[in-house]
Amino acid sequence: MKIPAGFDYEKRLWDQGIRLVVGIDEVGRGAWAGPVVAAAVIFPPFSEFSFEIFESKLLPPKSREKLSKKLEKVAKIGIGEVDVPTINKIGIGKASQKAFRKAVMQVEGACDYYLIDAFYIKYWSKQNQLPIKHGDRLCASIAAASIVAKVYRDRLMKKLAGKYPQYGFEKHKGYGTMLHRQSIGKFKLSDIHRRSFNLEPYLNG
């Protein structure tokens, strides 16, 4: 049984007078190809909706897309995308952090408090941050961010599949599936593969 993410974390902050609470999550951290994408979502204080919010991994693609459209109508949203050359240069950890910060900066207006799935945002004060383990399951704002980021990145990977049709990006979105491994063995690495991930062992199939 799927359990929707709740607003418990947000409500505690709203009750303290903290209004602009942003939920943040990223997608694509473990992929072998394509960018890493983060989303930041701010709901109006004491939000109540007719629909439920689940972490992205619990929903099929069409349900994620429908929910993402609903979220766009009721929340402020920011997207942070970090490309493959940057990932290769600074590493996926720093690139994910960069995506967090970019997403927050794309949200209209200032933010009072940050709820993040598992991580602090580096270089920013920890006093108004709360990393939540399994936050995308428990916290509605983070779950919403996971959905928005997933839908955005999946669309990017489908577009990249048109440019690099031999890799099947529309199916695996750049993750290390058997199909992707076989494609790398046959066609080698493209310029959107993360060479910093040491993919050379798969070049010979």
C-alpha 9 chain-centroid distance: 20
> Is 24 part of any domain?
yes
What is the domain range of residue 50?
Answer: 8-157
Count up the domains in the chain and report the number: 1
DSSP state of 45: T
Question: pLDDT at position 201, please?
Answer: 85
Q: Torsion angle of alpha carbons 119, 121, 125, 127, nearest 10°?
A: -30
* Phi, psi (rounded to 5 degrees) for 193: -85, 145
> Is 61 part of any domain?
yes
Question: pLDDT at position 135, please?
Answer: 97
Question: pLDDT at position 200, please?
Answer: 85
Distance, CA of 34 to CA of 176 (rounded, Å): 12
Question: pLDDT at position 39, please?
Answer: 98
> Is 115 part of any domain?
yes
Question: pLDDT at position 110, please?
Answer: 80
Give the number of other CB atoms < 10 A from CB of residue 117: 24
The two three-digit tokens of residue 29, written as one number = 């951290």
Contact by Cβ (8 Å): 24, 36: no
Question: pLDDT at position 112, please?
Answer: 95
* Phi, psi (rounded to 5 degrees) for 51: -115, 155
- Single-letter code of the amino acid located at 133: K
Question: pLDDT at position 60, please?
Answer: 95
In this prediction, the residues of the chain whose per-residue pLDDT falls under 50 are none
Question: pLDDT at position 205, please?
Answer: 61
> Is 192 part of any domain?
no
> Is 171 part of any domain?
no
> Is 40 part of any domain?
yes
Question: pLDDT at position 202, please?
Answer: 80
Distance, CA of 205 to CA of 202 (rounded, Å): 5
- Single-letter code of the amino acid located at 17: G
Of 122, 117, 162, nearest to 137 by C-alpha is 117
Dihedral class, residue 49 (left if φ above 0, else alpha if ψ from -120 to 50, else beta): beta
Q: Measured over all CA atoms, what is the biggest interatomic distance in the chain, rounded to whole angstroms? A: 58
Contact by Cβ (8 Å): 196, 92: yes
* CATH number of the domain encompassing residue 126: 3.30.420.10
Question: pLDDT at position 108, please?
Answer: 76
Distance, CA of 83 to CA of 33 (rounded, Å): 10
Question: pLDDT at position 120, please?
Answer: 97
> Is 175 part of any domain?
no
> Is 41 part of any domain?
yes
Question: pLDDT at position 30, please?
Answer: 97
Degrees, nearest 5: CA angle 109-112-25: 85
Question: pLDDT at position 89, please?
Answer: 96
Q: Is the entire prediction scored with pTM above 0.85?
A: yes
Contact by Cβ (8 Å): 40, 145: yes
24-56 pLDDT, tens digit each: 999 999 999 999 999 999 999 999 899 999 999
